[in-house]
Structure 1
């Protein structure tokens, strides 16, 4: 918000030939590296060539114009240093304006993406396999992005593109027919399916013919064999029950569950389109689209036995999302190891004349390990996501029992803290970095953790109750910026003012980390303000208390919104 205010002050001081709107100008503004330089900076280098003057001279001119105009009221000062125009806000009015705005519902929201429909492909687990800790990344990065796109004006459609087709099912079917236990499968479908899948890979190393049997079993499934399809349907239905239970705990919902099998009746059309376009070529009996001109390996469309492979299904999927879901943008929140695959898929779409493929974007993320070890379903090395959530919740409950034994509804709060700790433990990292998950560190109430943010929010709620903030508001006490005179209060207010810009940046970069990092800055700024002087104390003037509590309430609003956007609950008590 302060950026917008600064832009409105700077814009009249710029010559018309600079061609600057307030919106464009706001996007160029920066926070100076040192507080002594001011509150907001404009680098003038960009204007130097256009206006044929040095950046320093332009900064001097702009500062003089502002000080002669808006600066005359003494509430804003302009200065020039090193080619930068710096603004310092001195008046109480700006504090009142920003805090008042930050108290409102929907503060920070914008309509930057109005009129755009975004389809987000996220989570996408494989049927008959457990949701492991590695699935956390696609699920929660995707969920946070969906929330961020929504509050910046986009229409969002969340799609769970289930891995419910492919040779893996041939392997599972062969394993079940050879070593399966029907009672065990019905009792624990996911655990038993994983056991069978692991055994298949162990046995196939000694008996390679199993791989041929698996390919034949999948070919039977593709041809519609009734018995094979019935078994496949059982695996799908039981898996969905397991997935829903974990998604409910994470607070994640989807608009569509459309697995790879959903697009089966569209694949033949894609293959014909490729053939008619002269793009499909033979390669040792398989069918490929060559992409040498893009320095990419050929994109495999059909295997030697004529069965499909996932690139052609993803091509059919993209076309469906564009034509049927009317997507303006399609985001694929999928691990970085699939980068080449998406390059190939988008390239084939472009060669088919679907230029909208340029609006398809792969949103890659790094690997999640536990104790430095990579997960592998083939080897049975899987850390179940539900087990991690359970352990985090148990640890959170133990901390609550120790620190707040009389807290009501402890189990519910422990669930919110434990699950929130796991989510924030992921999202606080740049998505493209690999993450080695440490549950003890994630559940800590100290440091850069989810529980730290939740505790700060709960602490503010307690402060507002103690100070009877709602009663003071009801008595007509407004925010008086003059009361918020400390440096700590102003730094907290400036941090709150950045909320809208942070949300836009997180969407622009497709990076929830931007918001996670910002929320830590908000919490730290508030805690410095909280510790800098008394807020509620005996003998204090109601107007003073009301203004300080208003800043606390504004901080609570931003923390709650931000946590919710990341998919994390914000308890009022802890």
Structure 2
């Protein structure tokens, strides 16, 4: 229920000759202090027209306002403060939420247009580490959020399955690889070989030349290089799927960098046709000085293409295939310059749709304040973290609710959900230190706290054991109920704000606020006592559960019914 719209409509009836309803709506403010009402209208904008002091206009308007949804108005200087009729409004909000259920907050803003989301994108022949968590869960949450506001998301796992690192891996495999060990434990062994390559290359830099030569062979379709690459990719995908299954995340496409290998000649031809290529010491570049950016390196002097060449091919392919309204890239903050260059090159090619491409940067997950590095072998495996989180959740369930059915399933939902929620609760651009024991707590600003609040709400409804009656009076006016109701009512705005900022933390923080408000309400209200408000209180409990479950779903977190 749009409370501002309700107030704007009432004001507009008296100022229609001077301000449109949209203009009135835009002027409305939320008072800083609750004792000043729910919504405030500043009368300055009418001073010239009415040729009166704003204080007088506020006073005059106060005498004209008459609506059952507004309990009183109070002019304070140039402001007219509105106090909403909690009983009337609480009934409307509760009916709307409980009737619409998980459709509450849904909009058709996106009109079914497509939004490809480039996300997760691990490198093959390496295990999925904690470093891959952010792109994966931020991308997945954004997919859910854009769908909620009416777009059609396309989740693309742009696998890192091409580039000079595969030259390095082939060199390492041919020099030091044990075929039997690699077959038994492919990803762990390939990671060891990758780390070994970098250690040895520090003493023997000529290995880098060998690696470049092998990658060139791979680009040229050499049989041995292609067979090794195919095996590395296949084994990697099997391992990745284990982690994606734990996170319950699916993809619409696994087209990685290699998919665009045969599409780069056309990109280079298009760049030549547009006349934007120049030569610089044997390399082929696009000059981006007018964008205050370094030149984009399209082709090295040896003819090998680069990351940006493939990303250009990918952007053009996605525009042709999906005709996207927006194209999102959930990729770390350190790639910001790359995406600025990518958009600038596309703009130079005359593709104005580059403005619809958005890099969604994010900070690092650190340990002890230090970045995790695959190259140095300091890798924390994501699968191991999720398993450990599940074990910690099970320990707490055994302490709190030892007779709980399906404890292992619930522990997985809580443990995995805790890791996902913790990531998304943090502002996207912030770095954060990861301490698992703090993440999997049932108290504090955690995912399990929100899950537990929802489970508590459902437990209250089970204890009540009655059908909710939406036709009966649903008037709740006490301060604790009103605190919950105002938050519930703001859910559609929260979703839109999260979408506009491409920021899932808006929803995560909101779900914590709602959980805290509900727990305050529960601590101060005898919900199940038999009186005339009992049904209304239970409908409020139900509405809270609906919103908490939908908030968690949008974040990619499960909501167990019992904990």
TM-score w.r.t. the length of structure 1 is 0.93
Q: Does 2:199 match 1:199?
A: no
Structure 2 residue aligned with 1:68: 64
Distance 1:64 1:336 in 2: 53
Structure 1 residue aligned with 2:350: 353
Q: Does 2:535 match 1:546?
A: yes
Counterpart mapping for 1:133-148 below 5 A = 133-148=130-145
Contact kept in structure 2, 1:9 and 1:66, CA below 8 Å: no
Structure 1 residue aligned with 2:361: 364
Distance 1:86 1:478 in 2: 32
Shift of 1:49: 9.4
Q: CA RMSD in A?
A: 2.0
Of residues 206, 231, 256, the one that matches 1:234 is: 231
The verdict on how the C-alpha distance between 1:30 and 1:186 changes in structure 2, with shifts beyond 3 A counting, is farther
- Secondary structure of 2:339's counterpart equals helix
Shift of 1:58: 4.7
Q: Does 2:505 match 1:510?
A: no
The verdict on how the C-alpha distance between 1:116 and 1:29 changes in structure 2, with shifts beyond 3 A counting, is farther
Distance 2:358 2:125 in 1: 28
Contact kept in structure 2, 1:329 and 1:360, CA below 8 Å: yes
Structure 2 residue aligned with 1:89: 84
Q: Does 2:37 match 1:38?
A: yes
Structure 2 residue aligned with 1:79: 74
Q: Does 2:161 match 1:164?
A: yes
Contact kept in structure 2, 1:479 and 1:550, CA below 8 Å: no
The verdict on how the C-alpha distance between 1:567 and 1:494 changes in structure 2, with shifts beyond 3 A counting, is same
Contact kept in structure 2, 1:92 and 1:480, CA below 8 Å: no
Contact kept in structure 1, 2:318 and 2:324, CA below 8 Å: yes
- Secondary structure of 1:211's counterpart equals helix
Distance 1:413 1:82 in 2: 55
Structure 2 residue aligned with 1:414: 411
Distance 2:414 2:520 in 1: 23
Distance 1:241 1:488 in 2: 50
Counterpart mapping for 1:11-50 below 5 A = 11-21=12-22, 29-42=28-41, 47=45
Structure 1, unmatched stretches of 5+, are: none
Counterpart mapping for 1:139-288 below 5 A = 139-288=136-285
Distance 1:496 1:246 in 2: 34
Distance 1:456 1:67 in 2: 44
Structure 2 residue aligned with 1:431: 428
Q: Does 2:473 match 1:480?
A: yes
- Secondary structure of 1:256's counterpart equals coil
Structure 1 residue aligned with 2:114: 117
- Secondary structure of 2:209's counterpart equals helix
Q: Does 2:513 match 1:533?
A: no
Shift of 1:74: 7.2
- Secondary structure of 1:332's counterpart equals strand
Contact kept in structure 1, 2:28 and 2:39, CA below 8 Å: yes
Once the two structures are superposed, what CA deviation does each residue of 1:250-274 show, in whole Å capped at 9, x if it has no partner?
Answer: 1111111110111111100111111
Contact kept in structure 2, 1:334 and 1:363, CA below 8 Å: yes
- Secondary structure of 2:104's counterpart equals coil
Structure 2 residue aligned with 1:6: 7
The verdict on how the C-alpha distance between 1:178 and 1:44 changes in structure 2, with shifts beyond 3 A counting, is farther
Distance 2:111 2:54 in 1: 36
Contact kept in structure 1, 2:95 and 2:470, CA below 8 Å: no
Contact kept in structure 2, 1:64 and 1:78, CA below 8 Å: no
The verdict on how the C-alpha distance between 1:96 and 1:234 changes in structure 2, with shifts beyond 3 A counting, is same
- Secondary structure of 1:109's counterpart equals coil
253-262 vs 33-42, which moves further: 33-42
Q: Does 2:544 match 1:555?
A: yes
- Secondary structure of 2:533's counterpart equals helix
Shift of 1:220: 0.1
- Secondary structure of 2:322's counterpart equals coil
The verdict on how the C-alpha distance between 1:43 and 1:443 changes in structure 2, with shifts beyond 3 A counting, is farther
Shift of 1:9: 3.1
Distance 2:48 2:162 in 1: 58
Of residues 437, 440, 462, the one that matches 2:437 is: 440
- Secondary structure of 2:130's counterpart equals coil
Shift of 1:371: 2.3
Once the two structures are superposed, what CA deviation does each residue of 1:319-374 show, in whole Å capped at 9, x if it has no partner?
Answer: 11111121111111111100000000100000000011011111111111122221
Structure 1 residue aligned with 2:402: 405
114-123 vs 446-455, which moves further: 114-123
Of residues 303, 307, 320, the one that matches 2:304 is: 307
- Secondary structure of 1:282's counterpart equals strand
The verdict on how the C-alpha distance between 1:395 and 1:342 changes in structure 2, with shifts beyond 3 A counting, is same
Shift of 1:95: 0.8
Distance 2:296 2:424 in 1: 33
- Secondary structure of 2:228's counterpart equals helix
Number of residue pairs aligned between Structure 1 and Structure 2: 560
Structure 2, unmatched stretches of 5+, are: none
Shift of 1:83: 4.8
- Secondary structure of 1:380's counterpart equals coil
The verdict on how the C-alpha distance between 1:222 and 1:528 changes in structure 2, with shifts beyond 3 A counting, is same
Q: Does 2:303 match 1:332?
A: no
Structure 1 residue aligned with 2:93: 98
Distance 1:233 1:256 in 2: 18
Structure 2 residue aligned with 1:378: 375
The verdict on how the C-alpha distance between 1:231 and 1:60 changes in structure 2, with shifts beyond 3 A counting, is farther
